Structure 1
Amino acid sequence: MKYKVNGRLHAAICDENKHALANTKLRAYRMEQDVNAATAYTAAQSKEVAQVFEEKDIKSRNKQLLAETTTNANGDYELKIDGKKTDYNGGAIELVLYYDSVPDYGQENTKPPKGFNSFEIRMDIIQPKWRETQDGLVAGWNHTLLKRIWCYILQRLDIWVICGTLINCKSQAPLYGIEVTAMDDDIITDDLLGSAVTDANGRFCIYYRSLDFKKTFLSPWINVETTPPFSFDNGPDVYFKFSLGGEEIDAEPVSEAHKPSRKNVGHCLCVTLCLDDAPDVTQDPPAAFYQIGYARKYHPVLNIDPATGRTTGKASTSWNEQAFYSTLDLRGSLSKKLNGNPVEYKFQYAEVADPSVDISTITTWTDVQPNDIAKSEIGTRITALFPVIKYNSYQIHGTAAATPYGQEVEVPFNGNWIQVPQDSGIFDIHFNGSLIKLISSKLASGSVDQSGLTQGSSSAPLQKNRYFALRMRKREVGNAASEVAAGFSRPLAIFNTTYQNVPQGGSWLPSASNELGIASVDLEELKVGGGCSKITDTLTVNYTAANPNLGSVSIKMYGPGGPHNFEPVAFPSPGEEAFGASKYTGANNTVDANDVKNLPNCSYEVRLSAELNLTNGEDQHHTIWDRVLFCK
């Protein structure tokens, strides 16, 4: 029997702030206690069964593991349990969060803290309420972590969070679209902790790491919090600044950081802030589109290099120098109204020959059409709290289908305009930041036949990136006169060209297609006999790797003996293509016929790996490879 448990996970931070548990590993374990014990566990409240498991405990529980999955950007998950393989029959299960690395919850830096070890947090023990489907039994389970448990997790991960609400001091109305910047008061120089834009309810959350407030004039070699007068407490001393449209409109006095509630704060800080001279809360945000990708959060202007169209300026250096490919989550903010009337929006694109083109000089823009957009959830609205939380999921290209967690609601189009849902009730719509998921291959795609490629030679003509600027427009529904700009990007380098019929596996004559790059390898000594020649005293690797965003290229050999080395890979066109021949150099990195002669008689694998510097805003494209096998 096949079993599925799905739902959505959140963490409670402040009274009204919840955080989607994105990019987090979730595990299901079997309960091996007797029936009475299992019944008692499932009847208990989650806070009564919460437990921490350290690394040594995790290893001892491996036999009880039923399934593991990772939540998506909205905290959604699906656990699949194979009853036959795991000997599971639908009984009570233990659901835990598993941390073997640091997820990106908004703090960007995911380097594990010093002394980090894997750990698990038990959330609850449940008896799933199964319902039968064509694919097996399915159950739903949504959960919100208690604040104390969430803050404990953040402490273990060296993640700090400030969540709050910004209101008008006089009217107490929430302030929407204001950028809140958190600062740490230091004796040397004040540290920027981070910033966030308030949502329709005036709420915001800022995530950061201890490194952000322990900077000194000797950083990054020496980092320590330098709170006046040279206090060595652990937390920052916090005050705030406020901006609108990129310009600072107000700031708290630094003395606010010296108050007990703001001094040496812990991993979770909740605040309520207010502005006296606040802008009109009905004012729409000056720009709605300001992010590409949920995980990597590329700013469409500040994180795009105008010289190349590739990414730049991220703290994680491996996230830089990347072109875009595949489906891109274009993100920002949404409001239900514009000038007091229902609002709709659309995206447009323009292809340019040079990524340094000034956007203001572009005169021809093309609408992104419905078929250019993948299914996209743009918001949710809670519809029930008891007996379980249920909500509507507002989706572009959605359906009216019921889901385990509530109802899916289709977001309608008006031509190429997307109409923002206007539903209301006890709970308003929470827009999650996703505007559209753009299928970039609809803008830039193509294919190239490589059936005539010979390993060790060029794949010319080399393929090139294409460059597209994006912009968002919004207006009152059906009112062309009200149309205004709502954010734009610099020209983005995009590459979706697929290479067809690339020779693979050396002289055995197979081929690969639909890859976004070339990785092709053969041995010179095997070419004559069609793969059946013998290796005696030479070993020469012929290789070709290509992509206009080519990263590192390596040749490795696996088999007895070693270490196995080859002459360095040559890059006749750096960043675009590597090709040539590399001789075996053995353990001493010199070409010597005796090195090959002395290899033990056995089977070997020579593997060529090529890194593609392509991102969809969430991850980097996987490394592509080819291999050739031989016996000596």
Structure 2
Amino acid sequence: MRNIFKGSLKGYVCEDCREVIADVEILFYLPYRKEVPANSNTKETFRFVSKEESKEREKLLIGKTKTDKEGNFAFEVNENYLNSEFDIDFICGTVPPKPPKPKREETLQFHITTLSMKEELEQQERNENYKWEYSIAYKWWCYIRGHFFDAWVICGHLLNCRTNTPIANAKVTAMDADFLTDDNLGTATTDSNGHFRIDYSSADFKKTFLSPWINIETDPSFLSFNSGPDVYFKAELGGTKLVDETKANARKNVGYCLCVNLCSEVTVTNPEETFPSAWTGIGAAFSSSYGSGIHDFDADGFAGSGKQVLFSTIRLTGQAALKSASGNPIEYRFRISDTTAANNTPFLAESNFTKIIGVTPNLFVPSIVSKLTRKVFSFILNDIFVYSNQSDFDAEGWFDVNHAIERTLIEVGLTPADLSLYNIIEEDTLISLNTAALTSAPNVPDIFNAGEPIPPANEIPVEKFAIRFEIREVINKPSNIFGAIGGNGKTLNSIVMNNNPIYRKLAGKELEESTLCTPISGTIHAKYSLYHPYLASGSLHLKSNSGSIDRFVSDGIINSASVKRINNNSPLNAPPSNNNLTRCTYSLKLYSSTRKSNGDFNDSDGGSPLEQIFFYDDNQV
């Protein structure tokens, strides 16, 4: 009977990431008797075999075999050695995923272990599926891969931060943070378990603007040189950013093997998966809660640490599952109240909320509420954006995202049954609201000249509104049977909104007293008016065409904290400090901004300054 010893060889890249070691020679020796340190386990001592030791053991070599592409091998044991112990070594000529050559021209031999061949063959005789398996510890295997083959690797998982479920089919890119230019180490796609692997070499993170002639790792800390890359990650799925790290998140000077777990706040689910539903924010900048955090609303209804006010179209953000745990559809809606209360008091009664997005005219704005991405890549309809539509609301303003998805599938030529082919990316937006349909304060009439006071009757009043989020499980809609869902009734009692522009006027006093084309001289003055109830900044800037004069004008009013900044006699060159205007053409600009934001970007109102051009002639009599 033939005595076939079957085995396999693998190596750990990370504690949860293992790879087969293919196409390497496995050597079988009679035991090499050599003095070893006390307390060492000779049968489990993995070590490097020197040239001298290898030569000394040549006469003990019994035979050799080779691993296949799965890291498996078979070796026929001569019956003369059945009762012997065997030393098992291997010669490493290559490492996955491709066969690079060692950095040194030398044979790399490693001792794996010593075992009783008789015991192993007896186990294989009792169980024909049994084979001896050995996995090299990741500290050893990573050292071999990196030190001898310049083979570096990143193994990781991409998960949802809240549910800890894996995110499949996402593209993960690893970057090396450098002082000069960040290096792209590679990109990989996550599998069904959210697992990804990126292989690279030192050449990938030692690139410079002189590469390939000169390569060196340029550490962004500049003063301390380290040989390993400083790694940070980007991840996206269907064009949606899942992970967006920067240099500040870089893992410093990583070794040959990097093991990471990345998580994304973006919800990616199968159509039948459930998860907690909630209204959590407004745009990307603000939470939908009262508190002291930099994203929270204060008691008076101002948003974030900048005490901003909402304007234009705002995204009411959060997440809502398609179905409840019992498999019933989920619907949600947002209602608005003109009655408000402080945000640090109990929620307003629901009877106050008489306006409904999707019912009250002009409140609803279509927006992307979901994205479908194919589980298996397709060149056609791989990613489908789901926009909210008026038809997705019922008569009471309940929004059905299931209807929106099915409608979108039909519009692109698919059927609702095709949803099973897709993962669903929650796009964060639940509904978008047009705040201009709520605010009604009139603008300041354009009847006042620069520097002229604005009467209190024409000032813009404060406007506040409350928003309530409602969500339900639809058990039987025709019979009006609905179930409660956590998060129902979430309310912001007070949100300050404003859609009025800044009132701005600018003029040159001496120009108005002559003509706009007349050269002026002597001490000259600016006349200006800036007003908005939520004015954030204002500045007056003077610059000569030659560039010799380039300064902000400080007159004690323009830089004040008041929401009204008005002056009809602001000197631009009052002696002695600013009496330096020379014969030239000048530009006088009035800059301003407000505290208006929609949660994603600030108001550009006042972004383009008002400008007054004049010619100054210091020789004019």
Compute the TM-score of the two structures, normalised by the length of structure 1.
Answer: 0.49
Would the aligned equivalents of 2:365 and 2:433 in 1 still touch at CA under 8 Å? yes
Unaligned runs of 5+ in 1: 1-14, 16-105, 107-112, 125-145, 165-203, 214-224, 226-232, 236-259, 273-280, 314-319, 399-409, 498-515
The 2-side partners of 1:308 and 1:536 are apart by: 50
Aligned to 1:460: 455
Correspondent of 1:291 among 281, 287, 292:
281
Return the offset for 1:389: 5.3
1:447 aligned counterpart, secondary structure: coil
Correspondent of 1:431 among 411, 426, 429:
426
Return the offset for 1:480: 6.1
Return the offset for 1:428: 4.0
Q: Find out whether 1:494 has 2:497 as its counterpart.
A: yes
The 2-side partners of 1:519 and 1:149 are apart by: 59
Q: Find out whether 1:397 has 2:389 as its counterpart.
A: yes
In structure 2, relative to structure 1, the CA distance for the partners of 1:114 and 1:361 (3 Å cut) is same
The 2-side partners of 1:475 and 1:348 are apart by: 14
Aligned to 1:473: 470
Aligned to 1:628: 612
In structure 2, relative to structure 1, the CA distance for the partners of 1:380 and 1:352 (3 Å cut) is same
- Counterpart of 1:324, as a letter, is L
Aligned to 1:329: 315
Q: Deviations over 1:339-391 (max 9, x none)?
A: 53111111012234564462524440124332312111111223573345523
Return the offset for 1:592: 4.0
Q: Find out whether 1:373 has 2:340 as its counterpart.
A: no
Q: Find out whether 1:482 has 2:483 as its counterpart.
A: yes
Return the offset for 1:549: 1.4
Correspondent of 1:545 among 525, 530, 541:
530
Q: Find out whether 1:529 has 2:520 as its counterpart.
A: no
The 1-side partners of 2:537 and 2:185 are apart by: 41
Correspondent of 1:344 among 331, 345, 352:
331
| Amino-acid identity (%) | 16
The 1-side partners of 2:535 and 2:464 are apart by: 17
Return the offset for 1:584: 3.9
Aligned to 1:443: 438
Q: Find out whether 1:568 has 2:575 as its counterpart.
A: no
The 2-side partners of 1:490 and 1:209 are apart by: 36
The 1-side partners of 2:263 and 2:605 are apart by: 44
Aligned to 1:619: 601
The 2-side partners of 1:390 and 1:114 are apart by: 32
Aligned to 2:109: none
Aligned to 2:401: 420
Equivalent positions of 1:199-348 (< 5 A) are 269-270=261-262, 285=276, 287-294=277-284, 296-302=285-291, 303-313=295-305, 320-338=306-324, 339-348=326-335
The 1-side partners of 2:532 and 2:434 are apart by: 20
RMSD: 4.6
In structure 2, relative to structure 1, the CA distance for the partners of 1:161 and 1:492 (3 Å cut) is farther
Q: Deviations over 1:317-358 (max 9, x none)?
A: xxx222111111111011112353111111012234564462
Would the aligned equivalents of 1:521 and 1:626 in 2 still touch at CA under 8 Å? yes
Compute the TM-score of the two structures, normalised by the length of structure 2.
Answer: 0.50
In structure 2, relative to structure 1, the CA distance for the partners of 1:425 and 1:304 (3 Å cut) is same
Would the aligned equivalents of 1:571 and 1:579 in 2 still touch at CA under 8 Å? yes
Q: Deviations over 1:408-444 (max 9, x none)?
A: xx74545411112165313243322210111111111
The 2-side partners of 1:118 and 1:322 are apart by: 36
The 2-side partners of 1:584 and 1:451 are apart by: 25
Aligned to 1:555: 540
Would the aligned equivalents of 2:451 and 2:529 in 1 still touch at CA under 8 Å? yes
Unaligned runs of 5+ in 2: 1-16, 18-160, 162-175, 188-195, 206-218, 221-228, 265-271, 404-415, 617-621
The 1-side partners of 2:249 and 2:263 are apart by: 20
Would the aligned equivalents of 2:540 and 2:591 in 1 still touch at CA under 8 Å? yes
The 2-side partners of 1:123 and 1:211 are apart by: 19
- Counterpart of 2:290, as a letter, is V
Would the aligned equivalents of 1:353 and 1:466 in 2 still touch at CA under 8 Å? no
The 2-side partners of 1:437 and 1:584 are apart by: 47
In structure 2, relative to structure 1, the CA distance for the partners of 1:367 and 1:413 (3 Å cut) is same
Aligned to 1:609: 591
Q: Larger radius of gyration, structure 1 or 2?
A: 2
1:580 aligned counterpart, secondary structure: strand
The 2-side partners of 1:346 and 1:631 are apart by: 60
Would the aligned equivalents of 1:564 and 1:584 in 2 still touch at CA under 8 Å? no
Aligned to 1:599: 582
1:630 aligned counterpart, secondary structure: strand
What is the number of residues matched between the two proteins? 367
- Counterpart of 2:469, as a letter, is M
2:436 aligned counterpart, secondary structure: helix
Q: Deviations over 1:82-114 (max 9, x none)?
A: xxxxxxxxxxxxxxxxxxxxxxxx9xxxxxx99
Q: Find out whether 1:519 has 2:504 as its counterpart.
A: yes
Q: Deviations over 1:20-41 (max 9, x none)?
A: xxxxxxxxxxxxxxxxxxxxxx
The 1-side partners of 2:579 and 2:199 are apart by: 59
Q: Deviations over 1:45-97 (max 9, x none)?
A: xxxxxxxxxxxxxxxxxxxxxxxxxxxxxxxxxxxxxxxxxxxxxxxxxxxxx
Return the offset for 1:451: 2.3
1:425 aligned counterpart, secondary structure: helix
Would the aligned equivalents of 1:381 and 1:427 in 2 still touch at CA under 8 Å? yes
- Counterpart of 2:495, as a letter, is L
Would the aligned equivalents of 1:379 and 1:393 in 2 still touch at CA under 8 Å? yes
